[in-house]
Amino acid sequence: MTSRPIAPAHAALPLHETVRQLLLSVRSQVRQSVNTAMVQTYWQIGRLIVEDEQGGEKRAAYGRRVLEDLSKRLTDEFGGGFSVQSLWNYRQFYMTFSIPSALRRELTWTHYKSLIRIDNEQARDWYAREAAEQGWSVRALDRQISTLFYERLLSTQDTGKQGVKNEAIANIAKEAPPDPRDFIRDPYVLEFLGAQPAHGLYEKDLEQGLLDQLQKFLLELGKGFAFVARQKHVRVEGEDCFLDLVFYNYLLKCFVLVDLKVGKLAHQDVGQMDMYVRVFDEQYRSNGDNPTLGLILCSERNAAVAKYSLLADKPQLFASKYQALVPTEDELRAELERDRALLESRC
For residues 21-30, average pLDDT: 80
For residues 340 and 299, what is the distance between their CA atoms, to the nearest angstrom? Answer: 8
What pLDDT is attached to residue 294?
A: 87
For residues 157 and 57, what is the distance between their CA atoms, to the nearest angstrom? Answer: 50
Q: What are the boundaries of each domain within the chain?
A: 13-182, 199-345
Which amino acid, one-letter code, is at 288?
G
> Is it the case that residue 98 has pLDDT exceeding 80?
yes
Residue 108's SS3 state is: coil
Higher pLDDT, 316 or 326: 326
- Confidence band (pLDDT; 50, 70, 90) for 201? very low
> Is it the case that residue 345 has pLDDT exceeding 90?
no
> Is it the case that residue 159 has pLDDT exceeding 60?
no
The domain 199-345 is placed in CATH, from the list 3.90.1640.30, 3.40.1350.10, 1.10.10.10, 3.90.380.10, at 3.40.1350.10
What pLDDT is attached to residue 83?
A: 85
Neighbouring C-beta atoms of residue 224, cutoff 10 Å:
16
> Is it the case that residue 1 has pLDDT exceeding 60?
no
- Confidence band (pLDDT; 50, 70, 90) for 203? very low
CA atoms within 13 A on the CB side of 2: 2
pTM: 0.55
- Confidence band (pLDDT; 50, 70, 90) for 297? confident
For residues 14-32, average pLDDT: 82
Given a contact cutoff of 8 angstroms between Cβ atoms, the answer to whether 294 and 279 are in contact is no
User: Helix-strand-coil percent breakdown of the chain, rounded to 5?
Assistant: 60, 15, 25
**Of 171-180, 186-195, 249-258, 304-313, which gets the smallest average pLDDT?**
171-180
| Best CA proximity match to 210, nearest among 304, 130, 276 | 304
Query: Partners of 236 in the beta sheet?
Result: 239
> Is it the case that residue 219 has pLDDT exceeding 90?
no
**Percent with pLDDT over 90 in the chain:** 9
Higher pLDDT, 170 or 293: 293
Q: What is the pLDDT of residues 41-64, one digit of tens each?
A: 999 999 999 888 776 554 555 567
For residues 304 and 262, what is the distance between their CA atoms, to the nearest angstrom? Answer: 9
Given a contact cutoff of 8 angstroms between Cβ atoms, the answer to whether 294 and 249 are in contact is no
For residues 297 and 326, what is the distance between their CA atoms, to the nearest angstrom? Answer: 13
Q: Taking phi first (over 0 means left), then psi (-120 to 50 degrees means alpha), and beta for anything else, what does residue 97 get?
A: beta
**Of 72-76, 244-248, 289-293, 295-299, which gets the smallest average pLDDT?**
295-299
DSSP 220-252: HH-SSEEEEEEEEEEEETTEEEEEEEEEEETTT
Neighbouring C-beta atoms of residue 103, cutoff 10 Å:
16
Given a contact cutoff of 8 angstroms between Cβ atoms, the answer to whether 269 and 241 are in contact is no
- Confidence band (pLDDT; 50, 70, 90) for 137? confident
